[in-house]
């Protein structure tokens, strides 16, 4: 179950944009549209079962979905992105700012699988992954499953 997705410096998005599926605790109308999973560390939090993305033409609706698809593609190809000589095809930085091409595109997703909350983050340019991490919260406390950071000093990735 998707809880939150964020993206920055991707296609039409220069600044951070977030799709958050948390339901308001102040408005209890339409309870059938929400679920309240038992998630350690997030007691009594409600999440919407679905979301509608709407807005004017060219406002970024499709770009948000494409960003999520790019993240899925990146994860599938993640093991291949350790070589800085291989371009990362999923990275498409904001085109209207010339400096954006050299800045990382960032994705973050928070989701639940088998009752455990996870947070996956990645920041990359076309030429290399600057940061990638996966954290789990099985008992409500953070467990770092892996971190991949680019080291300018070593000119290589450092895994932990």
Q: Is the pLDDT reported for residue 84 higher than 80?
A: no
- Mean pLDDT over 130-135 rounds to 96
Q: Give the whole-angstrom CA distance, residue 85 versus residue 75.
A: 18
pTM: 0.92
- pLDDT class for 105, splitting at 50, 70, 90? very high
Q: Cβ of 40: how many Cβ atoms within 10 Å?
A: 13
pLDDT of 29 above 90: no
If one counts the domains in the chain, the total is: 1
User: For residue 63, what is the domain's CATH number?
Assistant: 3.40.50
- The confidence score (pLDDT) of residue 82 equals 65
Q: How far apart are CA 131 and CA 114, in angstroms?
A: 26
Report the half-sphere exposure of 96 (CA within 13 A, side-chain side).
5
Domain, as residue range, for 103: 2-159
On whether the CB atoms of residues 107 and 129 are closer than 8 A, the answer is no
SS3 state of residue 26: coil
Identify whether the C-beta of residue 12 lies closer than 8 Å to the C-beta of residue 94.
yes
């Amino acid at each position: 179950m998707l809880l939150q997705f964020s993206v920055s410096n991707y296609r039409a998005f220069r600044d951070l944009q977030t799709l958050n599926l948390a339901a308001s605790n102040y408005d209890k109308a339409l309870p059938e549209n929400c679920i309240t999973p038992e998630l350690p560390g997030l007691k009594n939090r409600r999440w919407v079962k679905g979301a509608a993305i709407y807005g004017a033409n060219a406002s970024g609706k499709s770009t948000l979905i494409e960003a999520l698809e790019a993240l899925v593609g990146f994860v599938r190809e993640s093991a291949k992105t350790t070589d800085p000589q291989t371009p990362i095809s999923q990275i498409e930085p904001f085109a209207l700012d010339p400096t954006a091409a050299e800045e990382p595109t960032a994705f973050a997703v928070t989701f639940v699988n088998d009752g455990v909350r996870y947070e996956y983050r990645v920041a990359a340019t076309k030429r290399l992954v600057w940061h990638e991490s996966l954290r789990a919260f099985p008992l409500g406390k953070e467990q770092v499953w892996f971190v991949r950071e680019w080291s300018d000093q070593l000119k290589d990735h450092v895994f932990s």
